[in-house]
Structure formats: structure tokens, C-alpha cells
Homo-oligomer: A and B are copies of this chain.
Amino acid sequence: MLVPVTDIARPRRSARPTMKDVAARAGVGLKTVSRVVNGEPGVTADTERRVRDAITALGFRRNDSARVLRKGTTASVGLVLEDLADPFYAPLNRAVEEVARAHGALLVNGSSAEDPDRERELALALCARRVDGLIVVPTGDDHRYLAPEMAAGIATVFVDRPAGRLDADAVLSDSFGGARDGVAHLVAHGHRRIGYIGDRPHIHTAAERERGYRAAMAAAGLPVPAAWVSAGPTDPDRVRAETERLLAGPEPVTALFTGNNRVTVTVLRLLAARPRPVALVGFDDLELADLLSPGVTVVAQDAARLGRTAAELLFGRLAGADGPARRVELPTRLIVRGSGERPPAD
């Protein structure tokens, strides 16, 4: 058996040894190396040892890119969220990672930065990488761009907010019910003039929370003058100005319901500098909320559970579960700590 010339004068192709190199060194065939690396049966102990020695000697590591190309599955899932740095999403991120890990998959993720174009760009980049599945915290309100990808086999689950103009799985918190319960809690403590400060209503969760606020007020027979409702961007400047506005005038509100953690923090900072106590219930829990005085009463979402549920739904789809798009709604929890139990000041 002649050694081909190319084998003798082979130029140094890459620093990285391949299975072919391992096979040559071990004096076996390429496929046998593949078998050893993948733990497939049908290799004698002696051959296996020779291959393993060669692997160690060369420092070989299987190139998963080639594997992916051949097998057609990447064992990875993509996660697109609003902001990797937002503490609310950190447990969600981790929960998705845990589930992915349990299924032997890696996690590729990125932030949309609340920019629909960037969300789209990122999601499609992940599709081009052929992630097996995609979990998206949507920012935009039109996700039809994902329809071809889903049709081509990329399982997709939306989390925290539903997809726009697309029939897809979604895992959400019960924003409506949570907000309604939070506001009802303030009503139960004697408040009749309650303000709402939340995000722009084109964001699904924001709209739901505002709806919950209105429902609780209506259920208590309380009027809701337009001036008490502030739905807009949640940058600190606007939130501060709106809070001042709601607390000014002859008939100021005696309690506030804040629509997310960013708003709550801004309002807390402002209230700390004011003499007159104002009752407050916020949507989303805060680290250290229990250590403030009074503690901050909140409607808490379970972000980790959101992530876990979405990931399990995703892997269920990957395992073959079909059927119509599912919408899962997780309950929220009212955590009573003091700020929501203050009586009306007037």
C-alpha cells in the first residue's frame, strides 16, 4: 500500500489538527476516529486506545462547525432580549441557560436595546447561524419577518410580551391581573385618588397594566380623570415631571401605581425627598426593596419562571410537539412590605 505523495510533502494547512491527522497518526481510518470521538460502538479497546493517544498527542478537538453542517442541527438556542444589563432579565437569561444546558445546548444571546430594527437584525442573524430555536422578548410590534424562519423549522417562543402580527407561542406574566390586584390593594387601604405612571401603551405589558389599573378603579366605583394616568417614555426626567404633576394641585393623588421597575425606582427617589408620605405599589420586584423604610410593596413577576417555562416550551417543540400556538400566562404575586399600606395623607 503506497503512501500518496501528498501525504509526504503535505504543506502545513492549519494549526488545528483534524480527524484526518489523528487517523494518520493512529494508523487507522478517518471514520474510526469519528467513532471513538462520538462514543459509537464497534471499536476494539486496542484501536480505541491508539486513537485516544493520538488525540492527546495532537491536542485534537472536534470541529463542531463541521459537525453542525453535516448533522443539520446546532445544539444551540438564541435568546433575544431587551437589555442584557437589565436586572429583571438576568434571572430569565439564567433560567433559559439552565434548561438549554440540560438539553445539551448552548445559548447565543443579544440585546435589542428596545430597537425593533436591531431586534430583527439580531433574530435573523441567529437564524442564519441556524440556532435550533429562538426565544424572543419582543420590542417591535411586527414579527412577520420570522414567519419564513419558523416555516423553515426554527422553533420560536416569545416571552414577556406576545409577538406582533404573528401566531406564535408566548409566555407572559398576568400583567392585567397583577396590576388590578395591586391597585385594589391601594383601594382597600382607603385610597380613592390613585395615579398610574407607566410605559407607552403600544407596549403590550404596559397597556395591560394600565387596563388592570382602570379595571380596579372601575370595580371600586372610582373615577379616573385623564390627569391621573401617565403613559409614556420611562426616562427619569419624564417620570419625575409626571410624578410632580400628579402630586401637585388642589386634589393631588394620595397613592401611585407604577408600571415597571424603572418607573418605581425613579418615583422612589423623588418621594424620598418629599415630606408628605405617598402610598406606592410598583409592578416588578426590586432588590433591597425590603430594606427601604417603608419596604416597597410590589406586584412581583417570577422572571426565572418566565424563562424556564419559555425554554421548556421551546424544547418541547424541538422534541416534536406540534399543535397550535400556545399562550401561557403566569400569575404575579403581591408582596406587602409597607409602602402600599400607608393610609391616604389627606
Contact (Cβ within 8 A) B90 A128: no
Among A89, A129, A289: residue with most chain B CB under 10 A:
A129
Q: How far is the CA of A94 from the CA of B83 in the complex (A)?
A: 7
Q: Any chain B CB within 8 A of the CB of A40?
A: no
Instruction: Produce 1/0 per residue, A76-115, CB < 8 A to B.
Output: 1000000111110111011101000100001111110000
Q: Any chain B CB within 8 A of the CB of A59?
A: yes
Q: Which of A67-75, A218-226, A319-327 forms part of the interface with chain B? A: A67-75
Q: How far is the CA of A106 from the CA of B126 in the complex (A)?
A: 9
Q: Which residues of the partner chain B approach A152 to less than 8 Å between Cβ atoms?
A: 15-16, 59, 61
Q: Any chain B CB within 8 A of the CB of A166?
A: no
Contact (Cβ within 8 A) B93 A84: yes
Contact (Cβ within 8 A) A85 B74: no
Q: Any chain B CB within 8 A of the CB of A51?
A: no
Q: Any chain B CB within 8 A of the CB of A141?
A: no
Known: A94-B83, A106-B110, A287-B87. A124 touches B265 (CB 8 A): no
Q: How many residues of A contact B (CB 8 A)?
A: 59
Q: Which residues of the partner chain B approach A87 to less than 8 Å between Cβ atoms?
A: 87, 90, 287
Contact (Cβ within 8 A) A108 B106: yes
Q: Which residues of the partner chain B approach A72 to less than 8 Å between Cβ atoms?
A: 14
Copies in the complex: 2
Q: Any chain B CB within 8 A of the CB of A29?
A: no
Q: Which residues of the partner chain B approach A124 to less than 8 Å between Cβ atoms?
A: 61
Minimal beta-carbon separation of A18 from chain B (angstroms) = 12
Give the interface SS of chain A, mostly helix, strand, loop or mixed: mixed
Q: Any chain B CB within 8 A of the CB of A203?
A: no
**Which of B62, B91, B110 makes the CB contact (< 8 A) with A128?**
B62
Minimal beta-carbon separation of A306 from chain B (angstroms) = 13
Contact (Cβ within 8 A) B292 A64: no
Among A72, A84, A91: residue with most chain B CB under 10 A:
A84
Q: Any chain B CB within 8 A of the CB of A272?
A: yes
Contact (Cβ within 8 A) A292 B288: yes
CB-based closest 10 A-B pairs: A85-B94, A59-B148, A84-B94, A64-B128, A85-B91, A65-B68, A85-B90, A87-B87, A84-B93, A288-B288
Binding site for B on A (CB under 8 A): 14-16, 59, 61-66, 68-69, 72, 74, 76, 83-87, 89-91, 93-95, 97, 101, 106-111, 124-130, 148-149, 151-153, 265, 268-269, 272, 286-293, 304
13 more CB-based (< 8 A) A-B contacts, given A65-B129, A83-B94: A61-B149, A63-B69, A64-B128, A65-B68, A66-B69, A84-B97, A89-B90, A106-B108, A109-B109, A265-B287, A268-B288, A268-B291, A286-B288
